[in-house]
Structure 1
Amino acid sequence: MSDSLITKRAIAEALKQVCKEKPFDKISISDITAVCGLNRQTFYYHYQDKYELLSWIYYNENFAAIADDISLDNWNEKIHELLSNMKQEKNFYVNTIKEQEHTFESYLYEMTKALFSEAIELLDEKGKLTFEERDFDAGFYAYGLCGVIMDWVKEGMKMEPKEVSKRLKSLARATERIGYIRSQAEL
């Protein structure tokens, strides 16, 4: 692991520590650097501001790992992995998503929309849907999944990650069956 990556991770861990004691919007760069023992110049060498740091954490600790080999066959397992990672650091995610929900939600939305686009394309075997219709439908399902996850966080992550991913998979299967029934009715 490079020295730069080690430093970035140390700064990220420091932010997580500070988030246990302070709301994200009240955290300063000085708070973060005091915890990791680095100076402000080092922080700014790696990150423009705390928002870029937050985005780096969300992407590198969650989305890069699960997006790497996500597929239609394993997406619910990847969602379970994401939710489990989040629950392990519950204070951090509840704190930062409450203050900066758009950053996390935008990553989640882009990943799930791409996955739903792929699923809709596979289900539309006869190519009856236009690109705009597939894009609209994928956006609809992505917003739904994002909404469920964002509500789960805002409500304190009370439901276990396994149960959330199981329910999401169940909804997806129901939607797939409806799509299949509709396509058979059109024959």
Structure 2
Amino acid sequence: MSEALITKKAIAQGLKDLTLAKPFGKISIGDITSACGLNRQTFYYHFQDKYELLSWIYYNEGFIYVMDGITLENWHEKLKDLLDTMKADQEFYRNTIKNDDSYFKEYLLEIVSTLFYEAIDKLDEDKSLSDEDKKFYSQFYAYGICGVVVSWVESGMKEDTKKLSDKLKGLAQGSEKLGYEIYTNR
């Protein structure tokens, strides 16, 4: 592991440790550097601000694993893995998403929108949908899933991760087909 990666992980752990006792919005760069035993210059060498650090943590501890090998057939399993990761570190995710959910949603929306676009494209065998329509429908489903995941976090992550990912899979499959049939039969 490179020295830069070791340093980034130490900074990330410093932030994660702080979120156990302090709201993310009240954590300063000074707090983070003190928690991990580094100086401000080292922090700024690796990250612009705490929001870039937050995005780095979301990506490197969760989304990178979700995106690796994700398919239309296994997306719900990958989502379950992400939910499990989040639940294992739930105070960090609850604290940071509660402060500002846009950083988390940005990654999740990108992944889910792409998957639904591919699914809708495969269902559109006679190519009757425009690219614009496919993007609209895929974003609709992606926002729904993101909303459910954020709500799950905000309500304390009580529901079982497998149960939640299976519900989302069933809902997505049913509504994809229904939506496509309604649109093509009008």
Normalising to structure 1: TM-score of the pair? 0.94
Tell me by how many angstroms 1:15 deviates: 0.4
SS of equivalent to 1:151: helix
Structure-2 residue corresponding to 1:58: 58
d(CA) in 2 for partners of 1:180, 1:90 = 37
Separation (CA, whole Å) in 1 of partners of 2:54 and 2:172: 30
Matched positions, count: 185
**Superposed counterparts of 1:42-121, under 5 Å:** 42-121=42-121
Q: Provide the alpha-carbon RMSD of the alignment.
A: 1.5
- Gapped regions of structure 2 (runs ≥ 5): none
Report if aligned partners of 2:141, 2:172 keep a CA contact under 8 Å in 1. Answer: no
Which amino acid in the other structure matches residue 159 of structure 1?
E
CA distance in 2, matches of 1:120, 1:137: 8
Cα distance in 2 for partners of 1:83, 1:95 equals 15
Partners of 2:132 and 2:146 in 1: CA distance: 21
Any runs of at least 4 consecutive aligned residues in structure 1 with deviations exceeding 3 A, and if so which? 179-183
Q: Which amino acid aligns with 1:8?
A: K
Tell me what 1:24 maps to.
24
Q: Distance in 2 between matches of 1:176 and 1:117?
A: 10
Is the Cα–Cα contact under 8 Å of residues 123 and 179 in structure 1 kept in the other structure? no
Give the aligned partner of residue 152 of structure 1.
152
1:29, distance to aligned residue in structure 2 (A): 1.1
**2:123–2:177 Cα contact (<8 Å) kept:** no
CA distance in 1, matches of 2:45, 2:173: 47
Instruction: Work out whether residues 120 and 134 of structure 2, in 8 Å CA contact, stay in contact via their aligned partners in 1.
Output: yes
Task: Give the distance between the partners of 2:107 and 2:15, measured in 1 at CA.
Answer: 20
Note the C-alpha offset of 1:154. 0.9
TM-score, normalised via structure 2 length: 0.95
Write the distance in 2 (CA, Å) between the matches of 1:28 and 1:182: 51
| Change over 3 Å in CA distance of 1:20–1:62 after alignment to 2 | same
Task: State the percentage of identical aligned residues.
Answer: 55
